[in-house]
Amino acid sequence: MRHIYLAAAATAALMSGAGAAAAQDWSGPYIGLTIGGAIPDDDEDERVVFDTNLDGSFNDTVRNGAGVDAFGPTTANPGGFCGGKALGANFASGCLDDENIGTEFAARVGYDMQSGPWVFGGLIEAATVDVEDFATAFSTTPAAYQFNREIDDVLYAARLRVGRSFGRSLVYATGGAAMAKVTDSFFTTNTANSFSPVESEDDATGYQLGFGGEMWVSDRITLGAEYLYTSLDAGDGLTVRTGPGTAPATNPFLITNAAGTDQRRSSDELAFHGFRLTLAARF
């Protein structure tokens, strides 16, 4: 929530003192650019899930020959899960939370209509977003099993917006649909088993919600600040078959089914917060 509060404060600062300025008509088409940062919506509770009998249900526990959870807490070498990037091969090494700020650039075209102080409009947008979302499992071997999800290529969006004009400034709320290609990849420190596939690409669809403000700085140019929350549904994502490799039949991944165990991350979502500065040319 602190990200949203910061965005709201930035918008309020941009609009402060502008209400006394002469009114400006917001009706008409515009083209614009945005630049800013993107922060993953950190899901600390996300984990990796397993299908040991290969029946398509990811609700199994991987156990060793003694029946002990191979990803559970032990005194000698505890296993576990984290919703971040592994800092080492064992659970004690910890994880880096998904809070790295990536860059975000966008180009947009839109149209607004004004009725009294109220402004209604729509826009379409193409953006490049550098954001990564990790989920990791640690076995008691020890070994790390890490999934990564990121946007591949361009994020497309179509949004509506409604706002209120205050002289030469505008505050607004916006929302709409978004779509992008999402890449899932897998990495492990386990060198005994085989793992396939280690990367997949899927079309993801979802939504965007946000708010912002703009101010006229000349007869044709407006500057602004915007907060945008994006949520994309990546489907089942990447499912990795953990096979025999050079591991013996007593390997925990092979005990239930000799062909191996399937694993994937528990969440099908890629979500992030965007904080942008906007520039628009209006006609």
Length of the chain: 283
Residue with tokens 């919600």: 209
Cα-Cα-Cα-Cα dihedral sign, residues 239, 50, 266, 72: negative
Cβ atoms of 247 and 253 closer than 8 Å: yes
pTM across the whole model:
0.86
What DSSP element (H or E) covers 277?
strand 269-282
Q: What is the pLDDT of residue 117?
A: 96
Check pLDDT > 50 for residue 218: yes
Check pLDDT > 80 for residue 6: no
How confident is the model over 21-58, as pLDDT tens digits? 456 899 999 999 999 999 998 777 899 999 999 999 99
Q: What are phi and psi of 255, to 5 degrees?
A: -65, -45
Cβ atoms of 70 and 263 closer than 8 Å: no
- Domains annotated for the chain, with CATH where assigned, are 2-282 (2.40.160.20)
Q: What is the pLDDT of residue 237?
A: 87
How confident is the model over 130-176, as pLDDT tens digits? 999 999 999 999 999 999 999 988 999 999 999 999 989 999 999 99
Confidence of residue 62 (pLDDT cuts 50, 70, 90): very high
184: left (phi over 0), alpha (psi -120 to 50) or beta: beta
Question: What's the token pair of residue 243?
Answer: 């096979």
- The residue type found at 190 is N
Partner residues linked to 263 by β-bridges = 50, 240
Give the integer Cα–Cα distance in Å for 262 and 52: 6
Average of pLDDT values for 246-274?
Answer: 96
Residue 250 DSSP one-character state: T
Confidence of residue 98 (pLDDT cuts 50, 70, 90): confident
Q: What is the pLDDT of residue 107?
A: 98
Q: What is the pLDDT of residue 99?
A: 76
Give the integer Cα–Cα distance in Å for 200 and 188: 16
Average of pLDDT values for 103-116?
Answer: 97
Question: What's the token pair of residue 91?
Answer: 């659970």
Q: What is the pLDDT of residue 74?
A: 75
Cβ atoms of 108 and 117 closer than 8 Å: no
Q: What is the pLDDT of residue 23?
A: 63
